[in-house]
């Protein structure tokens, strides 16, 4: 892996832009005809929403509820060990911890340069993983139940009864298409994807986390998500509510056999599908490298 130089920007062929979400209720059709055929050869794409898309995040920094984490020893990832339980935090405590870790890392390893690049941070990460030359550990809030903790998206049940009976402001109407009801009911809301028209998951009546109920993740610098196939080989979609963005690595489905052959031939049984966050609460989408608080739905 030491000779592998990953890319850090999305080539234009990976980008799927949406100048309008006016017809976003037809989500499955959109995925089938506009996204799937275009990006299947690459296995991944980045969806660019219209500039007006600004759904209010429902995760409050004032939420006192604590969530569990996994304690990840980054320098021993290639040994294939599981993760021990980490500390429990509320969202504000986790932010403070993650921000402090980032500041200390940059101060010690990049002379306090606040403009340190994603390439430099990624180089740090892979050096830690590959050489095991220094001990680095982080806490990662993964697989948080959005029913028991909270969802970053508005839920239909949260709408005022009066709002529920009003039209959702379709394009061309006097109201904004991006109103509260739109955000709570649109197919692009990860809570609604499983029940949107055309989805087979609408017939699944039992809530299953990661299948028809999205997980919530809270990450920090060097927190890592291991290589994996999605459950039942479904598509996976993630949404960044706030914070720095995340670096993804992906192998297209038709290259899976070759990828597994490489892993077994090099004894690299635990490689990482990792995320590296430059800080916990950056401005949404203003940093091009890594990601923090996000939803994921298989």
Torsion of CA 203, 208, 214, 216, to 10 degrees: 170
What's residue 82's pLDDT?
87
End-to-end CA distance of the chain: 28
Which residues, at least 6 apart from 103, have a Cβ–Cβ distance to it below 8 Å? none
Residue 110: burial class (beta carbons within 10 Å; 0-12, 13-18, 19+): middle
The token pair at 70 is 């996994």
What's residue 93's pLDDT?
96
Domain ranges within the chain, ordered by starting residue: 12-297
What's residue 282's pLDDT?
29
Q: Confirm if 246 and 254 have CB atoms less than 8 A apart.
A: no
12-297 is a CATH 2.60.120.650 domain: yes
Q: Confirm if 209 and 191 have CB atoms less than 8 A apart.
A: no
Neighbours of 151 (CB within 10 A): 22
Q: Where are the alpha helices (DSSP H) in the chain?
A: 27-30, 37-39, 91-109, 118-131, 161-165, 180-185, 256-266
The structure tokens 């806490």 sit at 139
Query: What's the average pLDDT block by block, 10 residues per block, for the chain (298 residues)?
Result: 40 60 60 73 80 88 95 90 94 94 95 86 91 94 90 85 49 60 89 86 89 92 84 83 80 83 65 42 28 49
What's residue 237's pLDDT?
85
Task: Show the CA angle centred on residue 271, arms to residues 217 and 76, nearest 5°.
Answer: 90
What's residue 105's pLDDT?
95
């Amino acid at each position: 892996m030491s000779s592998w130089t990953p890319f850090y920007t999305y080539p234009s062929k990976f980008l799927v832009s949406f100048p309008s979400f006016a017809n976003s209720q037809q989500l499955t059709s959109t995925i089938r005809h506009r996204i799937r055929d275009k990006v299947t050869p690459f296995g991944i794409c980045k969806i660019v929403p219209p500039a007006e898309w600004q759904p209010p995040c429902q995760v409050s920094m004032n939420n006192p509820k604590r969530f569990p984490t996994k304690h990840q020893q980054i320098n021993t990832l290639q040994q294939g060990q599981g993760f021990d339980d980490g500390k429990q935090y509320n969202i504000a405590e986790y932010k403070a911890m993650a921000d402090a870790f980032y500041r200390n890392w940059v101060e010690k390893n990049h002379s306090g340069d606040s403009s340190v690049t994603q390439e430099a941070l990624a180089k740090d990460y892979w050096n830690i993983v590959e050489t095991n030359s220094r001990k680095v550990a982080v806490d990662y809030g993964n697989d948080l139940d959005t029913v028991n903790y909270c969802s970053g998206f508005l839920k239909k049940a949260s709408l005022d009864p009066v709002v529920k009976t009003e039209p959702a402001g379709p394009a061309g109407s006097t109201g904004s298409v991006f109103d509260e009801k739109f955000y709570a009911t649109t197919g692009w809301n990860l809570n609604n994807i499983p029940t949107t028209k055309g989805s087979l998951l609408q017939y699944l009546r039992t809530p299953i986390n990661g299948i028809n109920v999205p997980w919530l993740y809270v990450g920090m610098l060097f927190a890592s998500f291991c290589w994996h196939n999605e459950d039942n080989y479904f598509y996976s979609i993630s949404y960044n509510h706030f914070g720095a963005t995340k670096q993804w690595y992906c192998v297209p489905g038709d290259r899976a056999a070759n990828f597994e052959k490489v892993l077994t031939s090099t004894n690299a049984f635990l490689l990482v599908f990792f995320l590296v966050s430059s800080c916990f609460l950056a401005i949404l989408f203003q940093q091009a490298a890594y990601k923090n608080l996000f939803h994921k739905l298989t």
